[in-house]
């Protein structure tokens, strides 16, 4: 196990190199929304409201928004799934978020942010299984379980390469199955959101209209 892999060998550290072992932002958002909507309906008997849904979606992206720039651009972390993907960081961070939200009497926002954040992690753990790889648990215990280190000198090239690999993968038989599952996930999330009364939509469209009107 080295600590200075080149860009080309990083693909082998991401499963089978088909690019699909990276869970995409819209998939994290869909998983978070389905989980949050079901839990909200079951525990409160109500549908999610706009503010918490926005906090949920932000939370569902935060681990990647923290780790990937720090690893791919600034090279301060060994992997795009390390610090913010670790329970060592995530649990105190989410607890702090809920505590701060409580102080401002918006516990619902803190809880939604925390749910989005925590649902991101199992998504990344089980995602490689879809591509015939083993579940990835290691990052949950970073830094106690070290991540395979690499230096990525070309972050933009990496994203382009991952996306290109992903498009190529979609053309394979396994890729077609994946695409059906992906569409199913997005349709369920969208259907649930519409059923919930499209929380956040009117606030978003109001802002958009305001921005266009100047
Ligand atoms: Zn992630």
Residue 73: pLDDT band by 50, 70, 90 thresholds? confident
How far is the centre of ligand 1, averaged over its atoms, from the C-alpha of 81 (Å)? 6
Higher-pLDDT residue of 67, 9: 67
| Domain total in the chain | 1
CA of 2 to the centre of ligand 1 (A): 22
Q: For residues 168-195, give the mean pLDDT.
A: 90
> Who has greater pLDDT, 20 or 50?
50
Residue 19 lies in a domain: no
Q: What is the C-alpha separation between 30 and 64, in angstroms, rounded?
A: 15
pLDDT tens track for 18-41: 334 678 899 999 999 999 999 999
Cα 144 from Cα 165, distance rounded (Å): 31
Q: How far is the CA of 117 from the centre of ligand 1 (A)?
A: 10
Q: By residue range, what is the domain housing residue 158?
A: 7-13+28-200
Residue 209 CA to ligand 1 center (angstroms) comes to 32
pLDDT of residue 158: 75
Q: Is residue 79 part of a domain?
A: yes
Residue 52 lies in a domain: yes
Read off the pLDDT band of 3 (50, 70, 90): very low
> Token digits for 58?
């932000």
Q: What is the pLDDT of residue 156?
A: 75
Considering the domain boundaries, does residue 23 fall inside one?
Answer: no
Rounded Cα gap, residues 94 and 56, in angstroms = 12
Distance CA(182)–CA(27), nearest Å, equals: 8
Report how far ligand 1's centroid is from the alpha carbon of 94 (Å): 16
Tell me the CB-side half-sphere exposure of residue 200, using CA atoms within 13 A: 15
Positive or negative CA dihedral for 168, 117, 29, 206? Answer: negative
Ligand 1 centre to CA of 124 (Å) is: 6
pLDDT at 4 over 70: no
For position 148, what pLDDT does the model report? 66
If we measure between CA atoms, which residue out of 1, 24, 33, 18 comes closest to residue 80? 24
CA–CA separation, 81 vs 74, rounded Å?
14
Structural domain contains residue 18: no
- Tell me what percent of the residues of the chain surpass a pLDDT of 90: 52
Distance 28 CA to ligand 1 centre (A): 8
Per-residue pLDDT reduced to its tens digit, 10-24: 333 333 443 346 788
Query: Within a domain: residue 106?
Result: yes
Distance, CA 24 to ligand 1 centroid (Å)?
Answer: 8
- The whole-number pLDDT of residue 153 equals 59
- When pLDDT is cut at 50, 70 and 90, the band that residue 173 belongs to is confident
41 within domain boundaries = yes
Which tens digits make up the pLDDT trace of 80-114? 899 999 999 999 999 999 999 999 999 999 999 99
Residue with more model confidence, 203 or 35: 35
Phi first, then psi, for residue 80 (nearest 5°) are -70, -5
The pLDDT tens digits for 107-160 are 999 999 999 999 999 999 998 888 778 888 889 999 998 876 555 556 777 778
> How far is the centre of ligand 1, averaged over its atoms, from the C-alpha of 51 (Å)?
23
Query: What is the C-alpha end-to-end distance of the chain, expressed in Å?
Result: 55
Task: Report yes or no on whether pTM surpasses 0.85.
Answer: no
Distance of CA 135 from the midpoint of ligand 1 (Å): 13
210 C-alpha to center of ligand 1: Å? 33
Residue 46 lies in a domain: yes
């Amino acid at each position: 196990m080295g600590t200075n892999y080149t860009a080309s060998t990083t693909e082998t550290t991401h499963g089978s190199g088909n690019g699909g072992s990276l869970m995409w932002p819209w998939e994290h958002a869909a998983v978070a929304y389905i989980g949050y909507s079901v839990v909200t309906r079951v525990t409160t008997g109500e549908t999610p409201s706009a503010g918490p849904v926005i906090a949920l979606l932000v939370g569902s992206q935060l681990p990647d928004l923290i780790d990937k720039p720090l690893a791919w651009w600034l090279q301060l972390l060994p992997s795009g799934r390390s610090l913010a993907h670790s329970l060592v960081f995530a649990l105190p961070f989410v607890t702090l978020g809920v505590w701060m939200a409580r102080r401002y009497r918006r516990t619902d926002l803190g809880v939604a942010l925390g749910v989005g954040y925590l649902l991101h992690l199992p998504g990344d753990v089980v995602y490689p299984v879809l591509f015939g790889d083993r579940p990835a648990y290691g990052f949950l215990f970073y830094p106690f379980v070290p991540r395979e280190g690499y230096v990525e000198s070309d972050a933009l090239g990496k994203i382009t390469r991952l996306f290109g690999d992903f498009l190529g993968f979609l053309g394979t038989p396994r890729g077609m199955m994946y695409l059906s599952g992906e569409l199913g996930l997005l349709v369920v999330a969208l259907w649930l959101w519409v059923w919930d009364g499209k929380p956040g939509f009117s606030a978003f469209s109001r802002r958009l209209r305001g921005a266009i009107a100047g």
